[in-house]
Amino acid sequence: QVQLVESGGGSAQAGGSLRLSCEVFVFTDTNPCVGWFRQAPGKEREGLVGITASGRSSEYASAVKGRFTISRDNARSTVDLQMDSLKPEDTAMYYCAAQQYSHCANALSSTYYNQWGRGTQVTVSS
């Protein structure tokens, strides 16, 4: 079992930055793949990026590649999402999630994630 808690959401101006953090509580022997997702009102949940348990491999969605950066600190049990060059269309509820595997199977598909945090709101104004 894994529990996830997001923090760091808030408001920013277009072109600004925010950093989200996901604290990952692992109660099994397997450190999981962790992904970040977002969901805007009236839209489907969108996969942004996934990172393997080791932190050595990640996969980004084209919508955020080059602007968002994921990092993982297993000593602190955190997976952070640095968001730069923010746009109004980045406004959404942001979630971190965990797979039951240490590698990432289909990192951008929510179907492969079985544990979810409660989310943190990000609002970007123009």
Measure the CA–CA gap between 106 and 99, rounded to whole angstroms: 10
The reported pLDDT for the residue numbered 28 is 82
The reported pLDDT for the residue numbered 70 is 98
Measure the CA–CA gap between 51 and 3, rounded to whole angstroms: 17
The reported pLDDT for the residue numbered 1 is 86
The reported pLDDT for the residue numbered 29 is 81
Amino acid identity of residue 119, one-letter, is G
Report CA-CA distances (Å) from 71 to 8, 14, 42, 56, 124: 15, 23, 29, 9, 22
Please give the chain's pLDDT, 126 residues, in tens. Answer: 899 999 999 999 999 999 999 999 988 888 999 999 999 999 999 999 999 999 999 999 999 999 999 999 999 999 999 999 999 999 999 999 999 989 999 999 999 999 999 999 999 999
